Every structure is written in structure tokens, then in C-alpha cells.
Amino acid sequence: MSSPYICKWGILATGWIAETFAKDLLTDPSTRSVSDVEHRIVAVASSTSASRASEFLTKIGAPHESAKTYGSYEELVADEDVDIIYVATPHSHHYANTLLALRAGKHVCCEKPFTINAAQTEHLIRVARENKRFLMEAVWTRFFPVVKEIQRLVHEEKALGSVKRVYSDFGMQFKPDPKHRLFNPELGGGALLDLGIYALTWQMILLYADPENNKTAPEVTSSVIKSKLTGVDEFTTMILNFNATGAQGVATTNMTVRSAGNVVLVQGDKADLTVPWAPYRPESFTIHEKDAEGVYTGKNETRKFDIPGHGMFWEADACARALRDGKLEEPTCSLAESTLTMKIMDQVRYDAGCTYPDHIEAVEQ
């Protein structure tokens, strides 16, 4: 047996998502039956101080001698030992941070949403390609075994028959607070970019990725209720018409009421499939059989999938394999789909008049 490929990560930022990702990197790959790749955290940077990066190592339970700690992102991306940078800042900063890392010659896995708008995403892709560097938006949900099994059942096995309609929702109840990240336009706030991307991702996973859709972009219609506090999108509903397959998707998000029960409903002519909370970290699905009139027969099958950790390691494994194989893109989470998703979110925001301050939306020339 050949030894596993070791992927050497630099962690850019030290907040909650960075902690979660880093803990998953430290999880023994054998607990998820992975033996071909392994992860090392070789450096961590806080934008404020190296001691904060050091505290981060303590928090995630990593030995301090294992990783260098930096008080600036510039130092991190200059570290020659780092293969790939994980960008874990608020999404208002993803564009600048990713650009910094790519320009320093690093591969990048950047948290979702990729950037604030599609122009920024397209610019990052151009820079990555010019520099021949791997780039991926960390849409971790796409990499869960349960999601891949749903895709196999729906697209290959055709377990639901012909899929006609998909509902997807991600709503969370946040206390109205103009200073909170989600309410703050200066941080790219609003439900859509932060939560709505998951509702949209399920539409991409199910209806866009349907082989019969042949990668045809959906026609998008949307409506937004803006927050009375700060004007960011508070309730957003998107209707996606996939004209190649004749299927309609309804993706909803909001930051005021939490999703109820199921967060995804896939309706086919033979069966329906539901996914219960959480939309970002699915652990099971149920298939509901239907009779010739479309009425549930009462015959259901639920399948649960164990997640030996938080579940971000699967996307990390995909990055490691791409680096090992010299690939610059991961097909499970293609740059084309990230761009399309950003374009849809652009359209939804612009149609509703929900824009961010110029410096947040800017693209370097």
C-alpha cells in the first residue's frame, strides 16, 4: 500500500468556521474510511496578532510545535511550507484574501459564498488560471456521502422517476441587531449570501446537475423583503425554471424564522424525497413512495448517514486529491457552478435593489 498524500494547510483567519474546519483536518481519516490522503495544519494566521493564532491552536487541540503562527495574512501566504490556504474570513473579505493567496502562488479553498458578486468570482478564477493554481469554493454540503447518494438515486437510479419540482429552504432565527454580521451591509449581510446559498446549492445539486438538464442555466425570478433595520435581504424566495427538463425549483431563505421540519423536498412522478434539517449538514433522507395518482402509499425508506466529526473533511479530502493529482479544479464543486450560483445571487440582489457599499462590491482592475 502506498503512503497517503499529505496536504499541508495554511489557515487564514481564526473564527468559528476556521476552528471547525481545522478540527476536521485533525480528525483521523480512517474514521471516514479514507486512507489515500492526510492533512497537516502547518500554519495559522490571525489578522490581528500571532498570539491569537496561537490560542487557535490551543482551542483546536493541535500541538503548538506542529504549526507556525502569524499575525498577518501576508506572512501566512508567504510561508513556503504551505500548499493550500483555507480562507475562513467573513465573505466580505473572501475576494481580497483569496487574491492575496493566489498571487503568492498558493492553492486556495475559500469558504462560501465565494465572493460578494460574480465579477469578483470571475476575477479570482482568471488569476488562479493565470497562475496555474487550484481554486475551489468550499461548498462542503456537496461532498457529504449522503448528498452523493441522493444524487446517485435521483440522477442515475431514477428512484423518484422524473423529477418535477424541488423545494429547498434555509431559514434561521436571528435577533434583529444592526451590528450583527448578518444585518450589516458592510459585511455583505442579508439572508441570501449567508444562508440562501445552501437553498440554492440544493437546486444546483438536484435540478441543475440532472444529466437531462445538460448544464442549462435556470431562468430565475425572485422576490425580497428587505430588513427594516438595515435594508439587507431578510426574506428571499427564488423561483428557478429549468426549461430543459421542465422542472421548477423554489428556493427560500430568511433570517427571521427557522426552517420547519424538512429543508428539501424533491418531487418526482414515482416518489418524493425529503431531507430534514440541517440543509448545510444533512444526515439522512427519506423516500416516500407514491401510487399512480401521486398519492403517498405509506411506504417510506429512511437512510441515515453517520458523520464522524463536523463533516468538513470531505471537501478537504477532495482538495488534497486534486493537489496530489495536479488538478486545478474539483468537478464536485466546479468553478463554473460557483460562477453561475454567484450570478444568480447577483440577479436576485440587483432585482431587489439590495447592493452593498462600492468597496465591498469592487473588483481590482
Q: Which residues bind a copy of itself (CB under 8 A)?
A: 164-165, 171-173, 219, 221-225, 228, 234-235, 237, 239, 241, 243, 246-248, 250, 252, 254, 256-258, 260-261, 265, 267-269, 272, 274, 288, 290, 293-296
Give CA–CA dist 17/60, Å, rounded. Answer: 12
* Least separation in angstroms between CB 17 and a copy of itself: 19
Residue 206, helix vs strand vs coil? helix
Considering the complex, state which of residue 230 and residue 267 has its C-beta at the smaller distance from a copy of itself: 267
Considering the complex, state which of residue 220 and residue 323 has its C-beta at the smaller distance from a copy of itself: 220
Residue 183 near residue 234 (C-beta atoms within 8 A): no
* Least separation in angstroms between CB 298 and a copy of itself: 12
Give CA–CA dist 315/229, Å, rounded. Answer: 36
Considering the complex, state which of residue 96 and residue 225 has its C-beta at the smaller distance from a copy of itself: 225
Residue 365 C-alpha cell reads as 482592475
* Least separation in angstroms between CB 142 and a copy of itself: 24
Q: How does 308-346 read in b/e, with b if 16+ C-beta sit within 10 Å?
A: ebebbbbbbbbbbbbbeeeebbbebbebebbbbbbbbbb
Q: Which helix (H) or strand (E) holds 313?
A: helix 313-324
The single-letter code of the amino acid at 350 is Y
The C-alpha torsion from 286 through 292 and 298 to 301, rounded to 10°, is: -30
Considering the complex, state which of residue 117 and residue 236 has its C-beta at the smaller distance from a copy of itself: 236
Considering the complex, state which of residue 148 and residue 164 has its C-beta at the smaller distance from a copy of itself: 164
* Least separation in angstroms between CB 267 and a copy of itself: 4
Considering the complex, state which of residue 15 and residue 294 has its C-beta at the smaller distance from a copy of itself: 294
* Least separation in angstroms between CB 146 and a copy of itself: 20
* Least separation in angstroms between CB 228 and a copy of itself: 7
What angle do helix axes 313-324 and 16-26 make, rounded to 10 degrees?
Answer: 70
Residue 200, helix vs strand vs coil? helix
* Least separation in angstroms between CB 213 and a copy of itself: 13
* Least separation in angstroms between CB 171 and a copy of itself: 8
Considering the complex, state which of residue 109 and residue 255 has its C-beta at the smaller distance from a copy of itself: 255
Residue 43 near residue 62 (C-beta atoms within 8 A): no
Nearest in space to 18 (alpha carbons), one of 48, 38, 41: 41
Strands 284-290 and 271-276: antiparallel
Considering the complex, state which of residue 18 and residue 344 has its C-beta at the smaller distance from a copy of itself: 344
